Amino acid sequence: MTSNPPPSGTGGMALGRTVLPIAMLSPAVLVTVAIVFLPMIQTAWMSLHDYILFRPKSFDFVGLKNFVAALHDEVFWISLRHTAIWIFLTVPSQMLLGLAAALLLNQEFPWRGLARALIIVPWALPSVVIALMWVWIYDSNYGVLNDFMLRFGLISRSIPWLADPATALYAIILTLTWQGFPFFAVMILAGLQSIPRSYYEAAAIDGASTWRQFWHITLPGISGVLVTAVLLRTIWVANSIDVIFVMTGGGPGYATYTLPLYAFIKARTNLDFGYGSALAVLFTLMLIGLVVVYLRRVGKAVQS
Amino acid sequence: MIIRKRSLARRLLTVDLPVVAILLFALGPYAWMFLTSVTEKGRLFTQGPSLSGATMENYVRLFKTVGFWNNLVDSFIIAGGTVVIGLTLSVTAAYAFSRFNFPAKRGLLLQFLVINMFPVVLLILPLFIFMRQLGLIDTHLALIIANSTVAIPFSVWMMVSYMNGIPRSLDDAAMTDGCTRLGALWRVVMPLCLPGIIATGIYIFITSWNEYLYALTLGGRNVRPITVAIQTLIGEYEVEWGLLTAGGIVGAMPATILFLIVQKRLISGLTQGAVKG
């Protein structure tokens, strides 16, 4: 290691104070501008054009035509409805399951450390692996789910979970719930451990029931963590395309189309980048809207 | 509920048993996948997966005939490259955020937070066009750059919180002792937030290793990371579940192991806090 030069004079220090932070920040800022913000603007720009990739010469400005087309597109509305079902079923199920897991793992038992480490596994797996695993579980001929349910008499014959339009979306929602609940469990567990034990001791002396302790101590204690976790998960769940793409590719028919998936498929298989971009922009605006509403309502309630 | 000492039977019923149930739900599918991967092909469809007569045949085929090794190497290069870029850019940026005051600080910090929210679909199309113009399609570099869109904002965010946890007085002391600013960063701050840097690095590695959509769109032929390779197994080999699940197990292994390592650090930090609190 080289020896450091002696400290510079006060003039150099002042200069260093303004130049150094700029020098240290600019690589990260420039790179994000180049690979995130410019592409984002380009997507917005493309959405205003007729742009089909295999016709590279034609890049005609069409204004809001793509957006108007989307509003008249039946598949757009189907995808939007699925996206709403997808978010409003998956995130709460993940949260409730995660809360139950966290409350259990917060109890005293000998193998607690091991259980806490193992519960995280679904979160670490690649989406593709998760998707494959569950396609195998749902398999209509040899899948373990059908086998299990037949054996216990819950169903009378095998159900092709992913091939049946009525069940496909819900089958994928179960998969996603499975993937995401450990995240909630870990976050909530951290929140639980920040609540001082003395609160519970005081409440117990006052004769508060377990339920009242949960309602008046535990829930307020983890509310901050819950708000953050729900926010992050909503964004991730809304954006996740890979699990559906591998499991059903959107099918059967349009049964498992969500908005981002529709945008991706439009661009990838039809190479219609103009329309695909318009769908992506619309979806992003809606997601931002959802997040703003959520933070306004819930974020404020927690802080006050 | 803490003061009263519960009987063993009651604890088993109210705690251990439900925990076992939740763990079964969390690990069951993974265990099922493993079981399938070690079951002989002929046996799989007649008797179903089982441990008796376990065979490594699927794993051998995976590496011998399908060329899984190259896919692993691709994934390592891409994930490793993303870690290097992500950490270098974010450690310096985080130091600037944590130690200096400058006019646009809040706005810039907010920018890195907001980027985490952008959907991949918003970026994937222009990145594809961009890479095509530069002739980078199907190279490791393209995927490293694409994964950085996720890695940089996330790690800036993580590193700022780690560095804020290290007292400024330590930098000042180092500088009074003759270190420059950068010397203080290198000799004092970096070693102290090494656990944070490692955790962030591992997290970047895992997310890049697991990434699929960029890999599918920007790679594919020459550069085919593990996630895409696993998926293409479906088409090439008529639903050979043994081979597929073996691929899944191998593909998930590095990320799972790394995650369990970070998880340990996380838990020990949490439990220490709980004991003190």
Question: What are the pLDDT digits (tens) for A217-269?
Answer: 898 888 888 888 888 889 889 988 999 999 998 879 899 999 999 999 988 88
Using N-to-C axis directions, what is the helix angle for B226-236 and A127-138, rounded to 10°? 30
Higher pLDDT, B196 or A243: A243
Of B25, B152, B217, the CB nearest to A32: B152
Give the integer Cα–Cα distance in Å for A40 and A49: 15
- Max mean pLDDT among A106-120, B56-70, B143-157 falls in B143-157
- Max mean pLDDT among A84-98, A209-223, B107-121, B192-206 falls in A84-98
Q: Which amino acid is at A171?
A: A
pLDDT digits (tens, 9 = 90+) for B84-127: 999 999 999 999 998 888 888 888 888 887 887 788 888 998 99
Q: Between residues 155 and 214 of chain A, which touch chain B (CB distance below 8 Å)? A: 178, 181-182, 186, 189-190, 193-194, 196-197, 200-201, 204, 210, 213
What average pLDDT does range A128-143 have in this prediction?
88
Of B44, B153, B248, the CB nearest to A129: B248
Q: Between residues 217 and 256 of chain B, which touch chain A (CB distance below 8 Å)? A: 217, 226-228, 230-231, 234, 241, 244-245, 248, 251-252, 255-256
Contacts of A129 in chain B (CB under 8 A): 33, 227, 230, 248, 251-252
Residue B88: CA count within 13 A, CB half-sphere = 8
Any B CB within 8 A of A257 CB? no
Where residue A168 falls among pLDDT bands split at 50, 70, 90? very high
Q: How far is residue B71 from each of residues A41, B145, B219, measured CA to CA in Å?
A: 33, 18, 11
Residue B65: CA count within 13 A, CB half-sphere = 9
Higher pLDDT, B172 or B238: B172
Give the integer Cα–Cα distance in Å for A172 and A198: 43
Q: Is the pLDDT of residue A95 over 90?
A: yes
* Backbone dihedral angles phi then psi of residue B67, each to the nearest 5 degrees: 75, 40
Which tokens belong to A295? 């933070």
What average pLDDT does range B10-27 have in this prediction?
89
Which tokens belong to B133? 């113009």
Which ipTM score applies to this complex?
A: 0.84
Looking at the DSSP bridge assignments, the partners of residue A60 are A50
Question: Is there a contact between A133 and B267 if contact means CB atoms under 8 Å apart?
Answer: no
* Backbone dihedral angles phi then psi of residue A194, each to the nearest 5 degrees: -90, -5
Q: Return mean pLDDT, chain A.
A: 86
Higher pLDDT, A224 or B276: A224
* Cα three-residue angle A273-A277-A279, rounded to 5 degrees: 120
pTM above 0.90, yes or no: no
Which tokens belong to B72? 């692993």
What average pLDDT does range A149-165 have in this prediction?
85
The answer to whether A134 and B241 are in contact (CB under 8 A) is no
Question: Is there a contact between A36 and B27 if contact means CB atoms under 8 Å apart?
Answer: no
Give the integer Cα–Cα distance in Å for B250 and A228: 33
Q: Between residues 123 and 162 of chain B, which touch chain A (CB distance below 8 Å)? A: 123-127, 129-130, 145-146, 148-149, 152-153, 156
The answer to whether B1 and A209 are in contact (CB under 8 A) is no
The answer to whether B215 and B134 are in contact (CB under 8 A) is no
Proportion of chain A above pLDDT 70, given as a percent: 92
Which tokens belong to A304? 């006050």
Question: Is there a contact between B97 and A25 if contact means CB atoms under 8 Å apart?
Answer: yes
